[in-house]
Structure 1
Amino acid sequence: MAELPIIDVSALRSELEEGDPDLQIRLCNQVKEAGQQWGAFRMINHGVEEELVHNVDSVSRDLFNLPPQVKERAVSHSFDGYLKPGALSSGEAMGLPAVLTSGSLQQYAQKLWPQGNPKFCETLRTYSSKLANLVNSLIKLILQGLGLSKHFYTDFVDCEAVIGLNYFSVCEKVDGSAIRFKEHKDFGLMTILYNDQVGGLEMRSKQGEWFTVKPLVGSFTVIMGNSLKIWSNDRCWSVEHRVAYGGREPRLSVAFFWNFSEEIEVYAPEELIDEHYPRHYKPFLFKDYKNATT
């Protein structure tokens, strides 16, 4: 049975910052191999405090426990705002765009809570800031493994964060492992996913086999998206994933999506083009790609 690699990233916060070359090379190779072979990995010892993760879980559940007529104040026709169960997912979702650079958190909080909700906003903003630092460190490692560290400052410095909250309520009529969120690939660069302990996340290996990603306390799941696959000219894999479980317990996940800025032109650098890897994709504006896939 396939199983995602587990990578200890504690070195990102300690010895790696002090320039230990052996740790740097080892961690770089682990992340590079996971990106090439799996398109995902489990990340432990990431430095995000347990209390903060607990608070994110708590404020997210508070949102979904609001009355339906209140949540519908934030209904959206795109992937921002509140989404009812639909064709892709049998659960509810809340998309919060530009969480690091705008007042979108306050705007949505005011739609849901008449007096706003400072705890909700501050919790998700603090969480997003910490994950932004993590995802930048991971992208730097990937670029280092590709020999393209200089491109971080030209292609990846203006990336944007989106928080996606996903909630599946108890469904007594569901038996076995019904598909609750259909198979898909993320269109952005990278996703850092928090799941509660209910389970149900499944991924498809490069060999086409679906396998279960079992809950691991204190970990995040890192998922590489189509944009990174395209930018790397297929050096990185974009993994297909879904949610399948019986629905006997409520299930919460929090996805931190890291995307190119909308105006950036996405294309593989010339250093990644050779006779073994001819250019696989034409350049495109990220906003056009996003609009075509959402």
Structure 2
Amino acid sequence: MSVARTTNGVLDVPIIDLAPYLDGTDPDGVAAAVDRAARTVGFMQVVGHGIPAETLAAFTAATDAFFATDPAAKAAYRCPPGVNRGYTPPKGESLANSLGLTSAADLFEAFNVGTEAASFADLDLSEAGYGTNVWPAVPGFREAVEAWFAEAGRVARAMTRVFGRALGLGDEGLTSFTDHSIDVLRMINYRLPAADVELEADQVGMGAHTDYGIVTVLWADAVPGLEILDDEGAWQPVQPAPGALLVNLGDALARWTNDRWISTMHRVAAPRVDGVLVPRRSAAFFHDGNVDAVIAPLPTCVDADHPALYEAVTVGEHLAAKLAASRGGTLATNATREASRLGGPLTL
């Protein structure tokens, strides 16, 4: 099982400039750097992405305004567990369940929006596989969130083209899996109790998990919390460099590459500075692939020395099982290889 590797106990999450790919000056150099990161750590810090600072400022202001509203008002936007849209209250999910593990409920609250079936008017898609957005009555929220969604989606699609080049498939080598992709933007607020509160045993901001789809584009505060599991079984802290987006691979891409690339185990510890609980925000854009795309090891990643490690499953089936676990309270049964990085079935 592939896992993030350290050198002398240090985990290197490389900074990769995307601009030479976007402007065509050195696409192969960017692809080579991405391939190295994908093989060794599964995370990278991307600069040169071109997202305007004012788009981020408007987006964070809008999300802050929503999360500052009354809990009862936010609860009005809660959706059923099988619908990956709307509001999730604190302790409303346990991400470790998506690995078939049990843990205390996670501390975060979140709000999700994403592509709808109507986003692809020329295709006969079921809304059940995509979800219908709900929009809170917060002035300017929808406009700011849609602007960030568009920019983060642009970066995710660019990264998917880089992945195709890095895998020797050509820039469009993975796009047949993504032309009606299920994309979700999750805005996350670590809405913690009082700074001196006693947490439950092993309670974290967000439990250990791997992401589910192709690629995640993450903006995060420069606040401690995010941690990556390394090859020594230790949790390594990661904070983004100024102006960088954290990009990591998901299970679908790891499975397509037959574990040549890493879908990295990560979590968010209860964020602390000098031992005191502090607020933390992030926003994760998940580019998960077409609902009907089949996830199975690519022929170029399978040979006599590297037999296929995964059974075929569609993106829709894969996501439904993961969400039923993390949001619905069941334990996933399709994540044996991912969970093995934590020592197999266990209680966190």
Deviation at 1:105, TM superposition (A): 11
CA 5–123 in structure 1, closer or farther in 2 if over 3 Å, else same: same
The unaligned stretches of length 5 or more in structure 1 are none
Match of 1:101 in 2: 119
8 Å contact from structure 1 (residues 198, 215) kept in 2: no
With the length of structure 1 as denominator, give the TM-score of the two structures. Answer: 0.88
Q: Which residue of 2 aligns with 1:142?
A: 163
Residue 180 of structure 1: aligned partner? 205
CA RMSD, 1 decimal: 2.5
1:274-285 paired onto structure 2 within 5 Å: 274-285=303-314
2:266 matched to 1:237? Answer: no
TM-score of the aligned structures, taking structure 2 as reference length: 0.75
Q: Among residues 265, 290, 295, which one is paired with 1:266 in the alignment?
A: 295
Q: Which has the higher helix share?
A: 1
Distance in 2 between residues matched to 1:201 and 1:137, nearest whole Å: 24
Is 1:25 paired with 2:34?
no
The 8 Å contact of residues 113 and 133 in structure 2, kept in 1 or not, is answered as no
Q: After superposing the two structures, state which structure 1 stretch, 154-163 or 280-289, moved more.
A: 154-163
Query: CA 1:192–1:164 in structure 2 vs 1: closer, same or farther (change >3 Å)?
Result: same
Quickly say closer, same or farther: Cα 1:285–1:219, change in 2 above 3 A. same
Q: Show structure 1 runs of 4+ deviating over 6 A.
A: 102-106, 175-178
Q: Which SS does the other structure have where 1:151 is aligned?
A: coil
Aligned to 1:194: 219
**2:237 aligned with 1:212:** yes
Contiguous gaps of at least 5 residues in structure 2 = 1-9, 95-105, 121-126, 324-348
Higher relative contact order (CA 8 A, sep 6+): 2
**1:148-205 CA-partner distances (Å, limit 9, x unpaired):** 1253342232222101011013431248996221111111111101101223111112
- Equivalence for 1:91: 108
* Percent of paired sites with the same residue: 22
C-alpha distance after superposition, 1:16-61 (max 9, x if no partner): 1xxx4xx222111100111111111111121101111111111111
In structure 1, C-alpha distance between the alignment counterparts of 2:27 and 2:133, rounded to whole Å: 41
Distance 1:234 1:130 in 2: 29
C-alpha distance in 1 between matches for 2:167 and 2:221? 33
Q: State whether residues 85 and 131 of structure 2, in contact with CA within 8 Å, keep that contact through their aligned partners in structure 1.
A: no
2:105 equivalent to 1:80: no
